[in-house]
Amino acid sequence: MTAPLHEAHPTSPGRRLPDTQAGMRRRNLARVMHAVGADGPLSRAAIASRIGLTRAAVSTLVDELIRTGLLEELGPERPGRVGRPGSALTVSGRGPAGIGAEIGVDHLAVCAVDLRGEVRARAVRHGTNRGRPAEPVLEELTALVGQVVAEAEREGLWAAGLAVAVPGLVAPDARTVVRAPNLGWRELDLAPLLPTGLPLTVDNEANFGSLAELWLGDDAPRNFLHVSAEIGIGGALVVDGRLLRGTRGFAGELGHVPVRPEGPACVCGGRGCLEQYAGEEAVLRAAGLEPREDRVGLLGERAAAGDAEVRRALRGAGTALGIALTGAVNLLDPEAVVLGGALSGLAPWLLPSLEQELERRTAGSACPVTVSRLGPQGPLLGAAHSVARAVLDDPAAVAERG
């Protein structure tokens, strides 16, 4: 009837494979890849004990993964151990790579991540994209992707797919930007404008940021609300280690949670939305500053330099965030709230009032608020890793294509 609330996008990890013998084999290939990825190098016997299959079954699976270039054999383990020496296996540093791209308001970025999770190639172009027509922006992005793919190929990798993070809402088809107000884009299908020849997935930057947090964060919780910001306030919900997308793919719109119901009118049609208090423009206005290109940078600089007006404005934004997050914490009961993206740079001046408000309103059950270690890199890394992880989640699909 409607799309499932959990990730329906093509690169979604954890999607169910059919429950047949063939499906079981595919899932077991994925288990081997994940075991070696998480804890490798590992011998066949060690893999077998980790995933609860017989050594014979694991050997068959491993042979297939070596043949398709996803695993590498490191050669026999050091002698001196009892029993027949096993050969340690590791995830290949050649083979498939995930290409991630980010369309920011003030930059374009592309990177390649191998199956080990290492960034192997990277390209960035600075300069505003605000108000530019989409065609030249996407032409530049296509060129940057070509550059990164070529660099990855020189390293013995091949691009398994492209995932693009955009600051806006994306349709469930995972290629159409429904609206990206800060770019001025509306109902725009990116696929024909990104002729890279790679399988394409487009998603909201906050969604990719939250996935990066889940996959790459230290001790990342499996259940959290990720809050980020460029101009608006973005949010993403991770539940049981999966992104909650919503019926139309719009879940996580924290920016339009009412904070003061009779407050200022918002572009969304409501009044007193969080963005009216904690969005960049609102904070700049409250601080009496004029917008310039790098707005968050401006706020961070001034706050760090001790500008009392800017600090007061950020304190007010923190209070508004605390009120909106009280509602979210009551509804979702997450393990943590994680501030990511541009917000992470402003955390020192937002957090005190935010935490005070949240604690006061959720007495005795306060939810910890943490700051992402990935900072503004989150969405780009999340995009690239989503492609690499889709390979780990279904290695057989790549083998069929490769």
Contact (Cβ atoms closer than 8 angstroms) between residue 165 and residue 382? yes
Q: How far is the CB of 327 from its own copies (least distance, A)?
A: 4
Q: Is 221 in the site for its own copies (CB under 8 A)?
A: yes
3-state secondary structure of 244: strand
Please choose, out of 32-40, 291-299, 356-364, 383-391, the segment that lies near its own copies by the rule CB under 8 A: 356-364
> How far apart, in whole angstroms, are the C-alpha atoms of residue 236 and residue 287?
28
Asked if 6 is part of the footprint of its own copies (rule: CB under 8 A), the reply reads yes
Binds its own copies (CB under 8 A): choice among 35, 112, 286, 328: 328
**Rounded Cα gap, residues 145 and 162, in angstroms:** 9
- The verdict on 218 binding its own copies (CB under 8 A) reads no
Q: How far is the CB of 221 from its own copies (least distance, A)?
A: 8
Structure tokens at 122: 């990277």
- Binding flag, residue 5, its own copies (CB under 8 A): yes
Nearest to 151 by CA among 113, 198, 187: 113
Q: State the Cα–Cα distance between residues 201 and 99, nearest whole angstrom.
A: 10
Q: Does 315 bind its own copies (CB under 8 A)?
A: no
**Contact region with its own copies (CB under 8 A), list: 122-130, 139-147, 191-199, 241-249:** 241-249
Q: By C-beta, is 150 or 268 nearer to its own copies? A: 268
Smallest gap from residue 300 Cβ to its own copies (A):
27
Alpha-carbon span 361 to 206, nearest angstrom: 26
The reply to whether 2 sits near its own copies by the rule CB under 8 A is: yes
φ, ψ of residue 108 in degrees (nearest 5):
-125, 145
Q: Is 364 in the site for its own copies (CB under 8 A)?
A: yes
The whole-angstrom separation of Cα 87 and Cα 49 is 15
Q: What DSSP character marks residue 214?
A: H
Query: Measured from the CB atom, is 20 or 83 closer to its own copies?
Result: 20
Alpha helices (H) in 41-105, listed in sequence order: 44-51, 55-67
Applying CB under 8 A, the site for its own copies has a residue count of 57
Among 246, 352, 375, 402, binds its own copies (CB under 8 A): 246
Contact 182, 131 (CB under 8 A): no
Hey, which residues between 162 and 201 contact its own copies (CB under 8 A)? none
Interatomic CA distance for residues 321 and 358, integer angstroms: 9
How much of the chain is in helix, strand and coil states, percent to nearest 5?
A: 40, 25, 35
Task: Closer to its own copies by CB, 158 or 250: give it.
Answer: 250
Member of 270, 352, 375, 402 binding its own copies (CB under 8 A): 270
Give the binding site for its own copies (CB under 8 A): 1-2, 4-6, 19-20, 24, 27-28, 52, 221-223, 235, 237, 239-240, 244-261, 268-271, 323-324, 326-328, 330-335, 360-365
